[in-house]
Amino acid sequence: MLQLIFSALNGWHSGKEMKYFANNDFHRALHHCNLALKYARKINNVGTLAMDLESLAKVYRALGENELSSQAAQESLELFRENSSLGPAFKSGVNRLEIFLKK
């Protein structure tokens, strides 16, 4: 039951992060991104965790925190690479993050 609640909370905070990011409210986006990550770690879903770390990297970059952005992107990239055999979504994540890290 807790897994379901944590998964719902992760999705809610991820949605809030995207909304605030789209509106250039990066500090609020960061707050919700960190909460989404908290719940992603609790549900232990590698895909969710990798995507939330990718979002964190984007938020940090928008805030000018390039070192933190690179760290989050690297962590996400590692998760996507380690699990690329799980399907095309993971392979796509590898491609996106390799491009992101080159910018």
pLDDT tens per residue across span 40-59: 999 988 999 999 999 999 99
Per-residue pLDDT, 74 = 97
Short-list 86, 97, 10, CA closest to 57: 97
1 to each of 8, 26, 40, 87, how far by Cα in Å? 11, 32, 15, 27
Nearest to 29, CA basis, from 42, 40, 37, 19: 19
Average pLDDT over every residue of 96-100: 94
Domain count, the chain: 1
Residue 79 near residue 46 (C-beta atoms within 8 A): yes
Return the residue matching tokens 């991104």: 33
Output the pLDDT for position 103: 83
Task: Answer for the pair 70, 57: CB distance below 8 angstroms, yes or no.
Answer: yes
Cα–Cα distance between 19 and 3 in angstroms, integer? 24
pLDDT band per the 50, 70, 90 thresholds, residue 90: confident
pLDDT at site 25: 98
Give residue 67's domain range: 2-102
CATH number for the domain that contains residue 25: 1.25.40.10
